[in-house]
Amino acid sequence: MNQPLNIEQAITNLRSAVANADSRFEDMIYNPGDELNDAGWRIETCFLILLTIVEALGLSELHKMILSEYASIKGSKEGFIENEIVGGEPFSVCLSRIRQFLRAIEQFFPQKEPTMISKDVLQIIRDIHYTITDKALFANVPKDEKDVHIRIEGILKCVFPDLKHKPTLTKQIKNFEPDTGIPSIETLIEYKFLSRAEDVPVIADQVLADTRGYNSKEWNHFIYVIYETNRFRPEKQWVQLLRQSGVPENTTIVVLSGEPSKRSSKKTK
């Protein structure tokens, strides 16, 4: 049995487990009465997977460090659901530490560049939320899709200098024009602005329609960024929509939760 390959698969499984635990943690925060929520159990499982991987790698000192932190968290008052507020949004302290340890052991198994960067760009977009809504940088929070597009693209351009604004995908009958393209990581990004609950089905239809038009040999990763002015739908429901509709794993959705634009609210009657 090839041990390194098994460990690599375990690392991949841990990434998926962390993403799943993060989704359940978010559900717990926004739906505290959900009796089926098991965020703490899933986060603890991530710790156990991490410990198993580190032990298999023979990293005894790192294993002691993680085991000590695991025991400390398990014995604390809040346990594995401990959270802090950053930028007005809660985040899981435990998952943050797990990601830090995971990033360290990933250095033993370098990924192919396009795959690794595609994962990084997802995290960059999630972190961008705090920047594009920072009133110290912008007079107002994003008021429409164009605002979200320009602000996120401006930040991504610093990381990916080959970024293209509205690249054209040429088809036999119709040309498609996604919002952002990053050739170096073969990734297309589309932005959606959601300010009313009744528009959820409309955005869902738009996303599914786009997935049919954005097939291309030049682009292998597709990201939809949905900026909500309020909490309308959790990210996992959007991702479930893709999978239930037969959209492959190379397409995903990131949901950024903002707040209503004051300028927009004045116009609404």
Per-residue pLDDT tens, the chain, 269 aa: give them. Answer: 444 458 888 888 898 888 888 878 877 877 766 544 688 899 999 999 999 999 999 999 999 999 999 999 999 988 898 887 754 567 788 988 998 898 888 888 765 544 444 557 888 888 887 788 887 788 888 999 999 999 999 999 888 888 999 887 755 444 568 899 998 888 999 999 999 999 999 999 999 988 876 666 778 889 999 999 988 888 889 989 998 888 888 899 999 987 654 544 444 33
What class is the 113-267 domain? alpha beta
List the chain domain ranges: 3-106, 113-267
What is the rounded (10 degree) CA torsion for 59, 60, 66, 69?
A: -160
Token pair 């479930």: residue: 240
Token pair 């990734």: residue: 187
**Three-class SS state of 199:** helix
Q: How far apart are CA 149 and CA 144, in angstroms?
A: 9
CB-based contacts of 5: which residues, under 8 Å, 6+ apart? none
pTM for the model stands at: 0.54
